[in-house]
Amino acid sequence: MSLARVYSGLVDGIKGEIVTAEIHLGEGLPGVHIVGLPDQAVRESRERIKPAIKESGFKFPREKITVNLSPADKLKQGSTYDLPIAVGILLASGQLEVSPLQLENYLLLGEIALDGKLRGIPGVLPLALAAAEHGLDKILLPPENYKEAEPVDITPLVCSHLRVAVAVLEDRHVPRPPPAEDLHQSAPVVPDFVDVRGQSSAKKALSIAAAGGHNALMIGPPGTGKSMLAKRIPGILPPLSKQQSLETTAVHSVAGELLNQNSIIKVPPFRAPHHSISGAGLIGGGQVPGPGEASLAHNGVLFLDELPEFSRSVLEMMRQPIENGEVRISRARGSYTFPANFFLIAAMNPCPCGYLTHPERNCTCSPSQIDRYLHKLSGPLLDRIDLHLSVGPVRYDMLRDKKRSKTSSQMRRQVIAARQRQNQRYRDENFSLNADLPANRLEKYCQLTEAAHALLRTAVDDLGHSARTVHRLQKVGRTLADIEGDRRVTETHVAEALQYREFSEDNYKY
C-alpha cells in the first residue's frame, strides 16, 4: 500500500468542512511535498512530523511523499493537519495495522510536537459538527480539545501522543476521557450589583437592556460607577440555551480562545475591547477572516467603555452587526459570515472634561470642544441605541447605604421572568427578544393602549421623533410591560421609554 487516505477538516467562517488528505509514497528524491493550497504553517508540518514519527518508534520512509489536501481551492491553515499527515504516512508505509476502510470512519485533528506529543488546535467544535454531518463516527483529537467535541453526536477519542493515536487506530487501546478534575473550570466570578450604591435608575435601565436585549449608552461624569455597572451585567443574564451555547462556543473555538480552557461556553460572553482596537479586531478580519470582538460577544454583551475614544471609522463599522446581528466580510475568494448578535452597552463622559452634567462642578470645555467630542458618535449609531441613560454622582449617605442597594439576584429574577414571557410569545418566530422584533411584527406583538398611542403621537408630531425611534420606543415599552407582567403596553411604559431618549443627538443640550 503506498497510497493512504484520511479525513481532517478546515474552518470556513465558523463552519467546518471536511478535508481529504491523500498521502502517496513513490519514487523520487526523499522529501515531503504538500499540495492543495497549504499556508506556511501547513507546509512546516513536514519539519514537525519527521522527528515526531521517529520519536514515536517508527521509521520515516525514505521515499518521495506527496500529500494532497482537497478541496484544492480552499486555503488550509495552521497545524491541524499534522496528525492526519503523520497517520497517512504510517499507513502508506505499512507501519499501521488498520484497514484503510476502517480509517475512513475517523476525523483526525491535531498539532504534533517534535517528541510526538499532540497539542490542541482551534476550531474543533465546528470541525466535529462537520464530521458528524459527513457521517464519520469517531474523532481523534488532543486532550485540550476534548470538551469541544463532547456536545456533538460523535465519539471523541483523546490521544496525548502519536503513539497513543496509533494504538487507538489499531484497536489496542481505548482512550478514556481526561479526568474530571482536569476539565473542572470554575465559572468566572462576576461582581454583584449590590456594590454599586445609589444609581437605582441606571440599574433599572440595565435590567431593561438585559431583559429585552436593548442597546444602552450610559453618560455621566467620571467616577460615578459607569464601568462598575457594566461589568456586573453578566450576573443578571440567564444562562445560554443549548443552541446558543453551541453557536457561541463555535465562534470562540475558531478564534482559538478555548485552547487553554477545555470547555464549552454556557454563560453569555462579556467582551470589553479597549478603545484602541482596530476595525478588524472589532468586527473580524485577516487573510482568511476570523471572528472579531463583536462576534466573540455573540449571544452576550459587547461593552464599549469611553465610546468617543474609539475611532469614528471603527464605530461606523458597528452599524452592520448592530442592525443585522451578523458580520459579513468580503474577500476575493468569497464572503464570510460571522454571527454577532450581542447587545451593546456603551459608556462615556458627557464632554472631554467630564463634568458637563455634574450638578455641582463646572465644566471647563468650550462648546466647540464638546462638539468635536460628540461628533465621533454619528446620529445613525446613536439612533440604534434604545436606552440613553444619565448616570449622576451619588450622595455620601447613599454610598454608605448597602440596604437600599439592589442586588444582582433581585435584578436577575426580573430579567428572567421578562425573558420567559418573550420566549413564550415568540415561540414560533426566529427571534426571541423584544429588541429583535421586526417592524412588521410590532402590530401583532406590541399592542398599545389608546392613551399610549396618544403619547406616541405627541412624541412624533410635537417632539419630532423619527419612525425608527418610535419603533424603538414601542419595543422598550414592550420590555417594560414584560418586566411588570402586563399584556398591553400602557402610557406609563411609553412615558418611561421616552425618558431614555433624553440624549438623542438633537436633544443634547449644553
Q: How far is the CB of 363 from Mg ion (least distance, A)?
A: 18
- In angstroms, give the least distance from the CB of 202 to ligand ATP: 9
C-alpha distances in angstroms, 343 versus 53, 234, 487?
49, 12, 24
194 binds, among ligand ATP, Mg ion, none (CB under 5 to 8 A by kind): none
Specify the stretch interacting with ligand ATP by CB under 6 A; choose among 100-108, 190-198, 319-327, 371-379: 190-198
Q: Does 346 bind ligand ATP (CB under 6 A)?
A: no
Burial of 254 (0-12, 13-18, 19+ CB in 10 A): buried
Closest residue to bound Mg ion by CB: 227
Is 227 among the residues that bind ligand ATP (CB under 6 A)? yes
228 binds ligand ATP (CB under 6 A): yes
Pick 196 or 433: Cβ nearer ligand ATP: 196
Interface with ligand ATP by CB under 6 A: which range of 136-144, 193-201, 280-288, 454-462? 193-201
- Longest pairwise C-alpha distance within the chain: 87
From 55-63, 89-97, 216-224, 361-369, give the range in contact with ligand ATP by CB under 6 A: 216-224
| Smallest separation (angstroms) from ligand ATP to the CB of 213 | 23
Q: Which of 199, 249, 341, 490 binds ligand ATP (CB under 6 A)?
A: 199
Among 262, 349, 357, 422, binds ligand ATP (CB under 6 A): 349
Nearer CB in complex with ligand ATP: 52/345: 345
Looking at the Cβ atoms of 227 and 407, the one nearer to Mg ion is: 227
State the binding partner of 197 from Mg ion, ligand ATP, none, CB within 5 to 8 A by kind.
ligand ATP
- Picked from ligand ATP, Mg ion, none, the partner binding residue 207 (CB below 5 to 8 A depending on kind) is none
Residue 191 within binding range of ligand ATP, rule CB under 6 A? no
349 binds, among ligand ATP, Mg ion, none (CB under 5 to 8 A by kind): ligand ATP
Nearest Cα to Cα of residue 477 among 462, 467, 488, 465 = 488
CB of residue 388 vs Mg ion: minimum separation in angstroms?
17
222 binds ligand ATP (CB under 6 A): yes
d(CA 40, CA 52): 19
357 binds, among Mg ion, ligand ATP, none (CB under 5 to 8 A by kind): none
222 binds, among ligand ATP, Mg ion, none (CB under 5 to 8 A by kind): ligand ATP
SS3 at position 61 = coil
User: Residue 67 has which C-alpha cell?
Assistant: 500529500
CB of 398 to ligand ATP, least distance (A): 8
Place of cell 481523534: 140
* Residue nearest ligand ATP, Cβ-based: 225
Q: Grid coordinates in use for 393?
A: 454622582
Q: By C-alpha distance, which of 59, 160, 149 is closest to 118?
A: 160
For residue 361, the tally of other CB atoms under 10 A from its CB is 13
Min CB(183)–ligand ATP separation in Å: 34
Least distance in angstroms from the C-beta of 229 to Mg ion: 9
Give φ, ψ of 390 to 5 degrees.
-95, 125
State how far the Cα of 279 lies from the Cα of 329, in Å rounded to an integer: 12
User: 108 pairs with which residues across the strands?
Assistant: 140
Query: From Mg ion, ligand ATP, none, which one binds at residue 224 (CB under 5 to 8 Å depending on kind)?
Result: ligand ATP
Element (H, E) at 17: strand 15-26
Helices (H) and strands (E) in the chain, counts: 23, 18
Exposure of 462 in the CB half-sphere (CA atoms within 13 A): 6
393-412 footprint of ligand ATP as x/- string (CB under 6 A): -x----x-------------
Q: How far is CA 501 from CA 297, 331, 428, in A?
A: 25, 38, 31
CB 112 within 8 A of CB 86: yes
Asked whether the CA dihedral 427, 429, 431, 435 is positive or negative, the reply is negative
CB 17 within 8 A of CB 11: yes
Q: 138-141 and 155-158 as β-strands: parallel, antiparallel, unpaired?
A: parallel
Q: Which of 18, 69, 86, 196 binds ligand ATP (CB under 6 A)?
A: 196
- Pick the stretch among 81-89, 215-223, 234-242, 467-475 that binds ligand ATP (CB under 6 A): 215-223
One residue of 88, 225, 235, 268 binding ligand ATP per CB under 6 A: 225
- Based on the shown chain and the rule CB under 6 A, indicate whether residue 224 belongs to the binding site for ligand ATP: yes
* For ligand ATP, the closer CB: 305 or 386: 305
Q: Which residue lies nearer to Mg ion by CB, 150 or 309?
A: 309
Q: Residue 510: which of 307, 369, 308 has the closest Cα?
A: 369
Contact 62, 30 (CB under 8 A): yes
Show the cell assigned to 224: 460615578
Q: Give the residues lining the site for Mg ion (CB under 5 A).
A: 227
* Residue 244 neighbours by CB under 8 Å, 6+ apart: 299
Nearer to ligand ATP, 166 or 346 (CB): 346
Q: How many residues bind ligand ATP (CB under 6 A)?
A: 16
Specify whether the backbone of 315 is left (phi greater than 0), alpha (psi in -120 to 50) or beta.
alpha
Q: Which of 223, 239, 380, 464 binds ligand ATP (CB under 6 A)?
A: 223
Which of 29, 35, 25, 88 has its CA nearest to residue 61?
A: 25
Positive or negative, the CA dihedral 220, 221, 222, 223 is negative
Task: Tell me which residues touch ligand ATP (CB under 6 A).
Answer: 196-199, 220, 222-228, 347, 349, 394, 399
